[in-house]
Amino acid sequence: MKNVVISGSGLFTPSETVSNEELVASYNLYVDQFNAEHAQAISRGEVAALEHSSCEFIEKASGIKSRHVLYKEGILDPAIMRPVFARRSEEQLPEMVEMALSAAREAMTQANKTAADIDLIICAASNMQRPYPALSIELQQQLGCRGYAFDMNVACSSATFAISNAVNAIRGGTAKVVLVVNPEFASPQVNYSSRDSHFIFGDVCTATIIEAEQSCNSDNAWRINGMRLKTEFSNNIRCDMGYTEHCLPADPLVPFFKQQGRKVFKELLPIVADVILDEMAAQQLAPEQLKRLWLHQANINMNIFAAKKILGRDPLPEEAPLVLDTYANTASAGSVIAFHKYKQGLQAGDHAILCSFGAGYSVGCLVLQKC
């Protein structure tokens, strides 16, 4: 079987940030206005009063301190509570393609690859700005790549599932060099007037180049020794926005992400641990051989719990790096951001794990070894 490697990675980070302090201040203003407007109905018990959000809760429960967003305007205005941006024309690039172009260029430079080398592009993310034509095909045109391109969505596991598709395409002979991009434009799906979820997501884009080890001329490449993917249906992380929406009675909550966070925490972690430990066993890999865990970035407590299960002890901060504090949850891009920022300083032969987990449920585990 052909050895396949991740030979480069790239990251696009929007310049605008929203801190917990800013977010909580605007949410609490919204709550005060709501409670004042509905004071009589609240006193009659017809409407439930809203409670304030708190920075302390957010940081303790999730590890998030701040997030990057493409469009800050509107998010912090209690009368708007959503990013404000204009519809782009057919002649303009959609935001997701723009983000992907930037991350892709960095990944290509790292991998020493030009557009002429790439013959498959997979755009894999939790949301696509439009169903068709595929965003990946527009990216293919922008970069000037030949071959083919497609979009795919497995929510938070979109990146790992796309990388495994890339490996299979290379081994099956339908592609030689694959560009995977993960433009996560999450902020439009956040319900900024929900105390439970207003703090969770940020916008970002990651990119990876996947190719046969034989063609690789990168000095920081990672061989993909093992891949294990798992899905199990759950309604506990859900969005119902779809193309049939305009035919149905309007429901103001439909466009938004919603979850039962506690249930997700409890149900998903055992699946994650099983998938990772099973793949380590298949690779005959002992915990002490693992030099780094690039885990999905949804919740600091979840990451520490998963890392403990894998290593059999508390992880050192550098063993399971976190990017949650400044990026928040960036869906499928999270574990790839951790990989991109913290893949330096390891030796040839070192083993590591890159693992996503999230909606579906879905878990994607890649066992990597530094070339």
**Which residues are catalytically annotated?**
156
What is the rounded distance in angstroms from the CA atom of residue 259 to the CA atom of residue 265?
11
CB 226 within 8 A of CB 164: no
The answer to whether 28 touches 51, Cβ cutoff 8 Å, is no
DSSP 225-285: EEEEEEE---SSEE----TTGGGS---TTTTS-EE-HHHHHHHHHHHHHHHHHHHHHHTT-
Instruction: Decide whether 196 or 232 has the Cβ nearer to ligand CO8.
Output: 196
Contact (Cβ atoms closer than 8 angstroms) between residue 333 and residue 204 = yes
Shortest distance, position 231 Cβ to ligand CO8, whole Å: 12
Residues that bind ligand CO8 (CB under 6 A): 53-54, 57-58, 61-62, 126, 155-156, 186, 189-190, 195-196, 201, 237, 257, 259, 261-262, 264-265, 298-299, 302, 329, 331, 358-359
Residue type, 102: S
C-beta of 361: minimal distance to ligand CO8 in Å?
Answer: 8
Q: Are 331 and 204 in contact (CB under 8 A)?
A: no
Kindly report the backbone phi and psi dihedral angles of residue 247, in degrees, each rounded to the nearest multiple of 5, phi listed first.
-90, -10
Residue pair 215/277 in contact by the 8 Å Cβ criterion: no
With H, G, I as helix, E, B as strand and everything else as coil, classify residue 337: helix
User: Closer to ligand CO8 at the Cβ: 126 or 369?
Assistant: 126
Measured over the CA atoms of residue 300, residue 189, residue 77 and residue 92, the dihedral's sign is: positive
Q: How far is the CB of 286 from ligand CO8 (least distance, A)?
A: 28
